């Protein structure tokens, strides 16, 4: 593994610098928001000027921008997110409930999408030119270009509102009289199906392309020529080799799908990170909004980093 | 060198023929290149389909004003969207009717008795008696309009109001003459429009106070107060009922004047009267501060009746400063309100008056001491800049009427704290500016108001728009007026509003009907056919989708164009200067690529504010990185080709190399990614709009879906849910398909094996 450790070091430094740049960008954008949390203090009823002063000092808004920037960077990098403005709770307590939910929903959907997508992609590449191929490609393209919230709404109308198969909103409802895990799964399933369909589109197209590349290879012809059953050629010889680029894209697909949480969680009123982020942005709850944004950014960066390492490990040319 | 010089001289003076030839040559070359591209492109069935769809949408966008079934701002008339009792009356033509007013009976439940309309130009009044009956138009129990009577009142009344006080009174204020020493007259009429008497006011009022009609529990008597002001004078009118010792008199009036030589009155004054002796006040907003005066009531020792009212010295004065900083008060008629005109209270010290400021704040003062009780800058989710136009009071809230951008705004503040009620949710925006105050509908916990577009709105007590109406024939010529209630059975009431329509007829309708919009597709009573139904405001869905195409194509193409321009330039430069500059640019590209796209985009949208232009900029800023990377690699490979070396040897400058020699070779890629980015921009606009960061002034498919979501009809109006989403998917897909097909032209490797 010559050069691997150097490669890891270089990539780590690059990732860290990228993180610093993005954090700075986030800070600037929050500073540029037309409404600032200090405005909230002014509107709070019964606030004495001394209290306002105290709160301003507590949250550090009396300090110059440069000092605040350094504090912010330090706090973010040490995961000291402070206390939420709107809920008077440590931001970590709020986040620690939400992060697993979002990861369960989006991680689950991405894994399912990959399992189904690889199988389907391989199959339609194998029977390319047929109705199955054309149909799947068209359907995948349509889903690929569909606004996620819209298909979410349609599923809500059909499966939750009309057919009543799934609950309309939320994460857990104690009045359902179901065991906790079952009830949570029941609540998660509809958004997960929608997410699955949406991410399936990309996976199927990716796998199909990868498979088409493989099908022309000599060993495939050989495998067919020696009379192996078609299933075996397709899955053991073909799909297994075509899977490589698809599987390595899994981590990136997963972390990027989390970015879409802001939209889909909003539609399903799913109490995850994305919904939290939007609410915090509306309520000017800066500590929560910043922390959520930071966690999502960190997930994306770490995902990219991990994907780079895997590529680097598998393909030595990347390391140069 | 010399050769070059010669060339330049020659090329400076091309004659017309040469120019034409040159342009023909270029044109031919483009044509040939285009033909070649098309030859490969048309083999892709999906590509041709995509192109067809895009062309179709372009045709729709261009021809929308002629082919759409309705205008862009069309709204279904109330006949279609609202099932309610209504009545219309043709009015005498060629009279400019300016006001509708409902006159209620003095009975306890205050049923509506008469509807009067007034023409300011002619001073004519038509009074229609109304009762419960069978409506002519609807043939159901509702309002029945009787035979009108015609009355003469002074013309050009600047103030016209009535109240029930001992005998019912009408007050009409009319200016007497023009000029320096103009005076005006306050006329008193009784409920049957019989002239009683008049009072002279030594100036022409610009402002008028609230009409106070309070009842004192302590002395068991009512008292009336009303004040008028011009820039430097106040005229206060008080009235109390007669005593048995004063036979034949229908009320005792007290008149007071006050002048401000050193200050200018800038808004409507307020009067407070009642049984709290030391609480009767006159409050005047002036340019140097709010001045509050005590009203001194002198009572007869014998009968305890008020025998004199006088304006005493200044009780308190507050200049416009907060924490040592000066602020600018809003000027105009309804800049100041008294908080509880609905329920006059003896709880001294609980009441406050509020003033609006030019920077969007509201400041509340204690009525007794003049101290600031609270001041607030209302924060509204998704709304940044707004201007306050006026303040109004209602039983639950202090209501701000204002504007944000091109839209009207109503906000409900908690009178105790000044915060936006309902956790910052008590507000609504509407098309056009409000031309009437939000009038509280007694017994309904709702408000009715109208805008300068002639639309009438019904809002819940949480200020959410509940229904919209329009008068028959398109619009209303007067602001809406809440007339009163007609009791149908027991306490069941019809709450009627009235307007004069643009066609010159009186239109009254009950607010207690059912708003049935969004309407499913079909033909409706007005004869209109809505092929795809309507939304909750009665906008025709098909029309909206067709007009939405324009904004959608504009945003898609322009946003993608700018992102491609940035990406191409970055890529070219990074590829050409592969040293430090290139390295830096590529690192920046990496940063952009590793941003959590949508999440960051929302932050940008919140910071930039909601408009189509900002969405375009945000998309361009955040979406160039992918293209830059591709363009860079193409640039790198092009740079190594022989013709570039040849150009370098020939002494071409770096700029020339980049833009003249390498540029054209990366253009196909730029175009390719532009088609992909258009499809991305269209979906992005939809997502931003859906999450509340869209342009409220534009018709876009994203905004249609946002309105669907916030109006709460997302689960029961599929005719509204489906078309915009299908349109977004189709258009985005079409550009994506074009991109894929064009990809095969640019990358021959992709062509079908």
- Among A14, A20, A34, A43, pick the best mutation site for testing chain B contact (most B Cβ within 10 A): A43
CB contact under 8 A, A34 and B705: no
pLDDT, tens digit, for every residue of B262-272? 889 999 998 88
Burial of B576 (0-12, 13-18, 19+ CB in 10 A): buried
Q: Which residue has the tokens 């890891």?
A: A8
* Token pair for B368: 């007794």
Measured in residues, chain A has a length of 320
β-strands B167-175, B184-190 pairing: antiparallel
Q: Give the residue-averaged pLDDT of A206-232.
A: 80
Residue B110 has pLDDT above 60, yes or no: yes
CA distance A229 to chain B (A): 24
Spans of all domains in chain A = 2-77, 95-315
Please give the mean pLDDT across all residues of chain A. 82
Residue B557 has pLDDT above 90, yes or no: yes
Residue B286 CB partners (closer than 8 Å, separation 6+): B260, B263, B264, B265, B266
Residue B386's nearest CA partner among B409, B412, B417 is: B409
* Token pair for A1: 């593994």
Residue B451's nearest CA partner among B402, B488, B513, B521 is: B402
Q: Omega into B518 within 30° of 0, i.e. cis?
A: yes
pLDDT of residue B470: 75
* Cα(B42)–Cα(B121) distance, integer angstroms: 70
pLDDT of residue B58: 92
Which 648-707 residues of chain B touch chain A by CB within 8 A?
A: 679, 683, 686-687, 690-692, 702, 705
Burial of B134 (0-12, 13-18, 19+ CB in 10 A): exposed
CB contact under 8 A, B600 and A293: yes
CB contact under 8 A, A259 and B596: yes
* Cα(B560)–Cα(B563) distance, integer angstroms: 5
Residue B431 has pLDDT above 90, yes or no: no
Using CB atoms, which residue from B46, B600, B732 is nearest to A145?
B732
* Cα(B430)–Cα(B405) distance, integer angstroms: 11
Q: Are B204 and B185 in contact (CB under 8 A)?
A: no
Which 20-59 residues of chain B touch chain A by CB within 8 A?
A: 46
ipTM of the modeled complex: 0.87
- Minimum Cα–Cα distance from A159: chain B residue: B715
Q: Are A1 and A319 in contact (CB under 8 A)?
A: no
Residue A113's nearest CA partner among A191, A171, A192, A214 is: A192
Residue B564 has pLDDT above 90, yes or no: yes
Compute the Cα dihedral for A48, A50, A51, A55 and give only its sign.
positive
* Token pair for A39: 């405005």
Q: Which range has the worst mean pLDDT, A284-288, B131-135, B154-158, B603-607?
A: B131-135
Q: Which range has the worst mean pLDDT, A14-18, B343-347, B439-443, B557-561?
A: B343-347
* Token pair for B612: 């189509």
Using CB atoms, which residue from A32, A39, A145 is nearest to B377?
A39
* Cα(A264)–Cα(A275) distance, integer angstroms: 8
pLDDT of residue B753: 43
Any A CB within 8 A of B180 CB: no
pLDDT, tens digit, for every residue of B161-188? 888 887 767 677 777 777 777 888 888 8
Using CB atoms, which residue from A45, A145, A300 is nearest to B596?
A300
E strands in B490-574: 492-500, 505-510, 514-515, 522-523, 529-530
pLDDT band at A45 (very low <50, low <70, confident <90, very high): low
Please give the mean pLDDT across all residues of chain B. 82
pLDDT of residue B724: 93
pLDDT band at B1 (very low <50, low <70, confident <90, very high): very low
Q: Are A68 and A242 in contact (CB under 8 A)?
A: no
* Cα(A208)–Cα(A186) distance, integer angstroms: 32
Instruction: Give the residue, A50 or A123, on which the prediction is more confident.
Output: A123
Q: Are B617 and B601 in contact (CB under 8 A)?
A: no
Any A CB within 8 A of B600 CB: yes
Compute the Cα dihedral for B718, B721, B723, B727 and give only its sign.
negative
CB contact under 8 A, A146 and B729: yes
- Minimum Cα–Cα distance from B381: chain A residue: A282
Compute the Cα dihedral for A153, A159, A163, A166 and give only its sign.
negative
pLDDT, tens digit, for every residue of B183-215? 888 888 887 888 888 888 888 888 988 888 877
pLDDT band at A91 (very low <50, low <70, confident <90, very high): confident
* Cα(A104)–Cα(A110) distance, integer angstroms: 10
pLDDT of residue B493: 66
Residue B398 CB partners (closer than 8 Å, separation 6+): B337, B339, B354, B362, B391, B392, B412, B413, B414, B415, B418
Any A CB within 8 A of B399 CB: no
Any B CB within 8 A of A161 CB: yes
Rounded to two decimals, the pTM is 0.65
Q: Give the residue-averaged pLDDT of A1-16.
A: 82
Using CB atoms, which residue from B603, B687, B714 is nearest to A153?
B714
pLDDT of residue A40: 66
Q: Are B149 and B126 in contact (CB under 8 A)?
A: yes
Q: Give the residue-averaged pLDDT of B622-644.
A: 87
Residue B437 has pLDDT above 80, yes or no: yes
CB contact under 8 A, A263 and B375: no
Q: Are B689 and A149 in contact (CB under 8 A)?
A: no
CB contact under 8 A, B594 and A22: yes
pLDDT of residue B2: 42
Count of pairs with CB atoms under 8 A, one residue in A, one in B: 159
Residue B723 has pLDDT above 90, yes or no: yes
pLDDT of residue B513: 66
Using CB atoms, which residue from A34, A43, A144 is nearest to B419?
A43
pLDDT of residue A271: 87
The DSSP string of A215-254 is: HTSHHHHHHHHTT--HHHIIIIIIIHHHHHHHHHTHHHHH
pLDDT band at B463 (very low <50, low <70, confident <90, very high): confident
pLDDT of residue B84: 72
Q: Give the residue-averaged pLDDT of B522-551.
A: 87
Cα angle A262, A268, A273; round to 5: 35
Residue B59 has pLDDT above 70, yes or no: yes
Q: Are A138 and B45 in contact (CB under 8 A)?
A: no
CA distance B316 to chain A (A): 23
Residue B138 has pLDDT above 80, yes or no: no
* Token pair for B479: 């602001």
pLDDT band at B4 (very low <50, low <70, confident <90, very high): very low
pLDDT band at B5 (very low <50, low <70, confident <90, very high): very low
Percent residues over pLDDT 70 in chain A: 93
Residue B410's nearest CA partner among B395, B423, B432 is: B432
pLDDT, tens digit, for every residue of B294-344? 888 888 887 778 888 888 888 888 888 877 778 888 888 888 887 654 455
Any A CB within 8 A of B151 CB: no
Residue A308 has pLDDT above 90, yes or no: no
pLDDT of residue B550: 92
Using CB atoms, which residue from B374, B384, B598 is nearest to A45?
B374
- Minimum Cα–Cα distance from B731: chain A residue: A145
* Cα(A174)–Cα(B433) distance, integer angstroms: 46
Chain A residues in contact with B725 by the CB 8 A cut-off are 146-147, 150-151, 153-154
pLDDT of residue B725: 93
- DSSP state at residue B395: S
Cα angle B173, B176, B179; round to 5: 125
pLDDT of residue B11: 47
pLDDT, tens digit, for every residue of B675-685? 889 999 999 99
Rg of chain A taking only CA atoms, in angstroms: 24
- Selection from A234-238, B40-44, B535-539 with the highest mean pLDDT: B535-539
pLDDT, tens digit, for every residue of A163-199? 878 777 777 776 767 777 788 888 888 888 888 888 8
Cα angle A246, A252, A257; round to 5: 110
Q: Which CATH number fits domain A95-315: 3.40.30.10, 3.30.1330.10, 3.40.50.10880, 1.10.3720.10?
A: 1.10.3720.10
* Cα(B693)–Cα(B226) distance, integer angstroms: 46
Q: Are B670 and B631 in contact (CB under 8 A)?
A: yes
pLDDT of residue B278: 62
Chain B residues in contact with A304 by the CB 8 A cut-off are 594
* Token pair for B3: 């050769």
* Cα(B237)–Cα(B253) distance, integer angstroms: 7
Any B CB within 8 A of A241 CB: no
CA distance B719 to chain A (A): 11
- Minimum Cα–Cα distance from A260: chain B residue: B598
Percent residues over pLDDT 90 in chain A: 1
Q: Which range has the worst mean pLDDT, A290-304, B333-347, B580-594, B619-633?
A: B333-347
Q: Give the residue-averaged pLDDT of A59-85.
A: 83
């Amino acid at each position: 593994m010559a050069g691997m450790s150097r490669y890891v070091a270089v990539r780590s430094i690059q990732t860290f610098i990228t993180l610093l740049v993005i954090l700075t960008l986030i800070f600037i954008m929050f500073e540029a928001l037309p409404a600032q949390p200090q405005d909230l203090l002014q509107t709070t009823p019964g606030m004495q000027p001394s209290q306002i002063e105290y709160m301003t000092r507590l949250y550090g808004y009396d300090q110059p921008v440069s000092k605040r920037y350094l504090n912010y960077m330090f706090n973010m990098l040490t995961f000291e997110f402070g206390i939420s403005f709107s809920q008077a709770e440590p931001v970590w307590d709020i986040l620690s409930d939400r992060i697993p939910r979002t990861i369960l929903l989006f991680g689950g959907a991405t894994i399912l999408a990959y399992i189904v997508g690889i199988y389907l992609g391989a199959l339609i590449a194998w029977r390319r030119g047929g109705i199955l191929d054309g149909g799947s490609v068209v359907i995948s393209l349509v889903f690929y270009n569909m606004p996620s919230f819209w298909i979410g709404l349609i599923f809500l109308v059909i499966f939750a509102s009309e057919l009543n198969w799934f609950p309309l909103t939320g994460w857990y409802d104690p009045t359902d009289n179901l065991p906790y895990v079952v009830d949570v799964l029941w609540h998660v399933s509809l958004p997960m199906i929608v997410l699955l369909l949406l991410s399936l589109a990309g996976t199927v197209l990716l796998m199909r392309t990868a498979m088409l590349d493989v099908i022309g290879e000599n060993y495939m012809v050989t495998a067919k020529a020696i009379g192996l059953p078609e299933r075996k050629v397709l899955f053991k010889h073909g799909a297994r080799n075509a899977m490589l680029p698809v599987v390595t894209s899994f981590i990136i697909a997963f972390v990027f799908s989390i970015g879409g949480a802001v939209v889909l969680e909003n539609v399903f009123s799913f109490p995850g990170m994305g919904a939290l982020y939007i609410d915090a942005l509306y309520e000017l709850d800066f500590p929560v909004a910043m922390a959520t944004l930071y966690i999502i950014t960190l997930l994306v960066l770490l995902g990219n980093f991990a994907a780079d390492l895997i590529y680097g490990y598998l393909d030595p040319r990347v390391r140069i | 060198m010399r050769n070059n010089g010669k060339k330049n001289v020659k090329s400076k003076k091309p004659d017309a023929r040469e120019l034409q030839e040159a342009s023909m040559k270029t044109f031919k070359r483009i044509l040939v290149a285009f033909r070649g591209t098309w030859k490969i492109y048309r083999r892709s069935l999906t590509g041709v389909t995509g192109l067809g769809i895009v062309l179709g949408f372009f045709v729709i966008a261009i021809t929308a004003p002629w082919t759409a079934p309705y205008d862009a701002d069309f709204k279904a008339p109330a006949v279609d969207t609202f099932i309610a009792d209504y009545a219309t009356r043709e009015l005498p033509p060629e009279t400019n009717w300016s006001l509708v007013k409902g006159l209620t009976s003095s009975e306890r439940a205050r049923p509506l008795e008469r509807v009067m309309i007034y023409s300011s130009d002619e001073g004519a009044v038509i009074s229609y008696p109304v009762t419960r009956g069978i409506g002519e138009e609807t043939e159901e129990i509702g309002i029945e309009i009787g035979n009108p009577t015609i009355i003469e009142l002074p013309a050009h009344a600047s103030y016209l109001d009535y109240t029930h006080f001992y005998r019912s009174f009408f007050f009409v204020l009319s200016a007497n003459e023009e000029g320096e020493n103009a005076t005006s007259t306050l006329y008193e009429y009784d409920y049957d429009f019989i002239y009683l008497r008049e009072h002279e006011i030594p100036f022409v009022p610009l402002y008028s106070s609230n009409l106070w009609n309070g009842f004192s529990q302590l002395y068991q008597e009512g008292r009336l107060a009303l004040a008028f002001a011009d820039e430097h004078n106040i005229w206060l009118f008080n009235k109390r009922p007669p005593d048995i010792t004063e036979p034949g008199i229908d009320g005792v009036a007290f008149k007071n004047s006050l002048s401000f030589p050193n200050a200018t009155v800038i808004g409507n004054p307020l009067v407070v009267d009642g049984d709290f002796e030391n609480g009767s006040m006159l409050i005047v907003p002036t340019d140097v501060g709010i001045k509050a005066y005590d009203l001194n009531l002198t009572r007869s020792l014998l009968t305890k009746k008020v025998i004199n009212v006088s304006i005493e010295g200044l009780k308190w004065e507050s200049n416009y400063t907060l924490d040592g900083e000066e602020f600018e008060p809003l000027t105009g008629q309804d800049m100041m309100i008294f908080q509880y005109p609905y329920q006059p209270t003896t709880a001294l010290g609980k009441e406050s008056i509020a003033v609006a400021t030019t920077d969007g704040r509201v400041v509340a003062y204690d009525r007794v001491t003049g101290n600031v009780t609270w001041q607030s800058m209302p924060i509204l989710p998704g709304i940044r800049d707004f201007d306050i136009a006026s303040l109004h009071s209602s039983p639950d809230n202090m209501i701000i009427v204002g504007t944000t951008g091109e839209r009207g705004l109503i906000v409900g503040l908690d009178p105790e704290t000044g915060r936006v009620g309902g956790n910052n949710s008590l507000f609504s925006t509407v098309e056009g500016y409000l031309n009437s105050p939000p009038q509280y509908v007694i017994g309904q916990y709702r408000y009715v108001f109208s805008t300068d577009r002639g639309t009438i709105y019904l809002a819940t007590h949480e200020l959410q728009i509940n229904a919209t109406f329009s008068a028959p024939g398109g619009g209303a010529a007067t602001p809406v007026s809440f007339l009163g209630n007609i009791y149908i059975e027991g306490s069941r009431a019809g709450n009627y509003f009235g307007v004069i329509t643009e066609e010159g007829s009186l239109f009254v309708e009950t607010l207690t009907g059912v708003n049935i919009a969004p309407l499913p597709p079909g033909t409706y009573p007005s004869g209109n056919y809505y092929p795809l139904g309507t939304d909750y405001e009665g906008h025709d869905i098909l029309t909206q989708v067709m007009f939405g195409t324009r904004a959608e194509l504009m945003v898609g193409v322009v946003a993608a164009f700018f992102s491609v321009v940035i990406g191409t330039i970055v890529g070219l430069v990074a590829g050409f200067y592969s040293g430090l500059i290139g390295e830096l640019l590529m690192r920046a590209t990496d940063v952009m690529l590793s941003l959590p796209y949508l999440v960051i985009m929302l932050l940008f949208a919140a910071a930039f504010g909601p408009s189509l232009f900002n969405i375009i900029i945000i998309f361009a800023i955040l979406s160039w990185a992918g293209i830059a990377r591709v363009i860079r690699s193409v640039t790198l490979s092009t740079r190594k080709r022989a013709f570039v070396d040849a150009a370098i040897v020939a002494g071409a400058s770096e700029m020339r190399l980049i833009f003249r020699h390498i540029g054209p070779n990366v253009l196909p890629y730029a175009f390719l990614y532009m088609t992909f980015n258009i499809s991305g921009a269209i979906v992005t606009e939809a997502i931003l709009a859906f999450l509340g960061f869209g342009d409220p002034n534009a018709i876009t498919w994203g905004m249609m879906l946002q309105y669907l979501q916030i109006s709460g009809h997302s689960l029961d109006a599929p005719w509204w849910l489906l078309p915009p989403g299908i349109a977004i998917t189709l258009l985005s897909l079409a550009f994506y398909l074009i991109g894929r097909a064009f990809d095969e032209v640019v990358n021959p490797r992709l062509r079908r094996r």
